[in-house]
Structure 1
Amino acid sequence: MYFENAEGLKTYINRLIVEPDEQLMILAGYKSADEVPEVMEFLNEKGINFFGAIYPGLLTGKNNKPHGFIVERFNPVFTSLVLPHMMRFNKDPASMKGYTALVLVDGLSPHMKALIDTLFKKMGTYVNYLGGGAGFYDMNQRPCIFDNKGIYQDVLYVCVIPEPCFSGVKHGWRKLMGPFSVDRSIDNVLISLDGDNAFEVYKEVIEAEEHITLFKEDFFAIAKDHPFGIVQEDGSIIVRDPIGLNDNYEIICVADIPVNSQVYVLKGDVDSLLSSSLEITEYCTENAPDYHFPLLFNCISRAMFLEDKFEEELANIQNKLKPIVQGALSIGEIASKRNGEIVIHNKSTVLGLIRK
């Protein structure tokens, strides 16, 4: 349920009876970040367990809101704050087979891959992962994940609920140039392609395609239209979003690009992206539980690319679903592959229909 401000959220929560074994998930729009401490204090005073994150935007129905709060109530079987290579987990993961793991993670953390790997090593393929990277619209990293004890950066929060989820992922981007071999990368920093500086290789491709000169200062404005695509074993593509350059002119991406992987520079158009969101909704609704609520994570730079057409994408999704779609603009989208492995996507739409 969406609320415009903290007062509306608090009024609603005052009418709720939240049991000790229940937990509230709070998603906050970045323009309401200053109200998050007030909400946290209010919930702690009432003795309500909660977790949440600040996002570049909140998705509610056909609308993208930079402010406000979304709240959902769950009865989880397990919750935990996760640090890189550090997670307390005393359950048999097989006991959670078929459950849904909601994942909120710092989307701008250079340790995002380590956080995801830490989670997967504990829970494996038993649960269905669904979530998105949190952060602020200006893409400057600062604390964005919170729970009863505080607000953090470089962390992940997981909430496992005893309900199945049918989910799907689509992106709509197509190959422009490549493949290139990743000779050197460190976490989410791409350093070398085919033996050359990665930025120089990328710059050459973009300048030939767009007929411009690419500078560091306007890198993201241009790069949002041309992400990387990592080739998977089955030939499919996982998208990686280049969001900036460091002082060494190395490309900073959202999440990791593995050494020795093959990557393409991608391109897209409005029609191909809108078609992909229709495909994912049709795919999910054909297999949805009879009673469900839709949770959507849609990439922030995808929204920037679509501009005023983004609300058309949201309408395409909402029009095929009876319940109101809730979710967030994300910096990295989290979902399970068909074999159960967890994957970090970029510039993609992840839709989950969770049984109620």
Structure 2
Amino acid sequence: MYFNTIGEISKHLEVSKRKDNEVLMVLVSDKSAGQVSELRDMLNRKEITFFGAIYPALLVGDKTHREGFIVQHFEPLYCGLVLPFMMRFPLEKEDLAGTTSIVLVDGLTSRFKDLTDTLEAKVGSKTKYIGGGAGFYSLEQKPCIFDNKGIYQDGLYLCILKQDVVLAVEHGWKQMEGPFTITKSKDNVLMQLDGIPAFEVYRDIIIEHENIRISREDFFSFAKDYPFGIEKKGEQSYIVRDPISVDNNEDILCVANLPQGYNLYVLHGNKDTLLGSSQLIATYCSYKAPEKYRPLLFDCISRAMFLEDDFEKELRNIQEKLKYQVEGALSIGEIASAKSGEIVIHNKSTIIGLVAE
């Protein structure tokens, strides 16, 4: 449910019947981030177990909200904070088939892959993962994951539900140039392609194809239209990576990791290909939907920037295919299980999950 104010949340909780093992998930739009301390105090006074994250915007039906809160009630099998290579997990991996794992993670952490690797090592690949990178619209990294005990940077929160999920992901971006080999990278920093500084390669491609000269200062305003695609063995489409800035060494900072030795393409798209991709997965989910379900949506912030006014059309296309109200967030990196069960970090993508009820 969407709420404009903390007072509305408090009134809702006063009249709702609380279950013994109930946990609240609270998604906060970044213009309401200054109220997170007040929100946490209110929920702690009521002795309610909760977790949540701050996102660039919230998605409700076919609308985008830069202010407010989404509150969802769960009865989870497990909830807990995960730090890189630090996680205690009491459940057996083999018992998690048919479950759903909701993942809220700091979208701008350089440890994104370390966090998902920790998750995969402890929780395994029987559960289906869905989630999104949290953070602020400004793309400035600040603490954005929270629970009863505090608010965290470089962290991940996991909530495992006993219900299954119908899951789909798409992006709509097409190959423009490549492949190049990633010859030097570290975590989410791309340094060299084919032994040449990555920014030089990228800048020259954009000049050649689009007659646009990009610089460090205006990098993201153009780069949001030309993401990277990593070619992964055994996969039929690219895993997209979002280039967001250039550092003092002229290395390119991206959302999530870029493994050395992989092939990389520069991608491009248009509004029709992006809108078509989200409509495709909404249609797929509607055909596979259980009788009753809870729709979750994580849609990339830079995708919304690219679509501009047509982003509302994307949300409308998705909502029209589903019989229950869609709720979710603009994300900085999207998380979904591959067919193999492996956790995959996506960028510039749309992820829909229909959690059975």
TM-score range, shorter chain: over 0.9
Q: Deviations over 1:145-174 (max 9, x none)?
A: 000000001000000010000100000000
Q: Deviation at 1:314?
A: 0.1
TM-score, normalised via structure 1 length: 0.99
Say yes or no: does 1:99 pair with 2:99.
yes
Other-structure match for 2:183: 183
Aligned 8 A contact 1:334 1:344 in 2 = yes
Say yes or no: does 1:259 pair with 2:252.
no
1:254-293 to structure 2, matched below 5 A, reads 254-293=255-294
In 2, Cα distance between the equivalents of 1:96 and 1:74? Answer: 17
In 1, Cα distance between the equivalents of 2:189 and 2:183? Answer: 12
Name the SS of the counterpart of 1:146 in structure 2.
Answer: strand
In 2, Cα distance between the equivalents of 1:39 and 1:11? Answer: 13
Q: Deviation at 1:17?
A: 2.9
> Which amino acid in the other structure matches residue 143 of structure 2?
P
Q: Deviation at 1:125?
A: 1.1
In 1, Cα distance between the equivalents of 2:225 and 2:15? Answer: 45
Q: Name stretches of at least 5 consecutive residues in structure 1 with no aligned partner.
A: none
> Which amino acid in the other structure matches residue 335 of structure 1?
A
Say yes or no: does 1:171 pair with 2:161.
no
Name the SS of the counterpart of 1:319 in structure 2.
Answer: helix
> Which amino acid in the other structure matches residue 48 of structure 1?
I
In 2, Cα distance between the equivalents of 1:140 and 1:120? Answer: 27
In 1, Cα distance between the equivalents of 2:138 and 2:209? Answer: 27
Say yes or no: does 1:316 pair with 2:317.
yes
> Which amino acid in the other structure matches residue 286 of structure 2?
T
In 2, Cα distance between the equivalents of 1:150 and 1:278? Answer: 38
Other-structure match for 1:307: 308
Q: Deviations over 1:22-73 (max 9, x none)?
A: 1000000000001111110000001000000000000000001111000000
In 1, Cα distance between the equivalents of 2:341 and 2:228? Answer: 24
Q: Deviations over 1:221-253 (max 9, x none)?
A: 000000000001134200000000111010000
Other-structure match for 1:246: 247
Aligned 8 A contact 1:22 1:73 in 2 = yes
Name the SS of the counterpart of 1:25 in structure 2.
Answer: strand
In 1, Cα distance between the equivalents of 2:11 and 2:208? Answer: 55
Q: Deviation at 1:95?
A: 1.6
Aligned 8 A contact 1:20 1:49 in 2 = no
1:1-356 to structure 2, matched below 5 A, reads 1-234=1-234, 235-356=236-357
Aligned 8 A contact 1:10 1:39 in 2 = no
Q: Deviation at 1:259?
A: 0.4
Q: Deviations over 1:305-327 (max 9, x none)?
A: 00000000000000111100000
> Which amino acid in the other structure matches residue 30 of structure 1?
D
Q: Deviation at 1:290?
A: 1.0
Q: Name stretches of at least 5 consecutive residues in structure 2 with no aligned partner.
A: none
> Which amino acid in the other structure matches residue 281 of structure 2?
I
> Which amino acid in the other structure matches residue 151 of structure 2?
I
Aligned 8 A contact 1:20 1:48 in 2 = no
In 1, Cα distance between the equivalents of 2:138 and 2:111? Answer: 19
In 2, Cα distance between the equivalents of 1:289 and 1:336? Answer: 19
Between the aligned residues of both structures, percent identity stands at: 53
Aligned 8 A contact 1:111 1:187 in 2 = yes
Say which is worse superposed, 303-312 or 284-293, in terms of deviation.
Answer: 284-293
TM-score, normalised via structure 2 length: 0.99
Q: Deviations over 1:81-138 (max 9, x none)?
A: 0000110112111122110000000000000000000001111111000000000000
> Which amino acid in the other structure matches residue 290 of structure 1?
E
In 2, Cα distance between the equivalents of 1:107 and 1:18? Answer: 31
Q: Deviation at 1:18?
A: 2.4
In 2, Cα distance between the equivalents of 1:173 and 1:350? Answer: 15
In 2, Cα distance between the equivalents of 1:14 and 1:289? Answer: 31
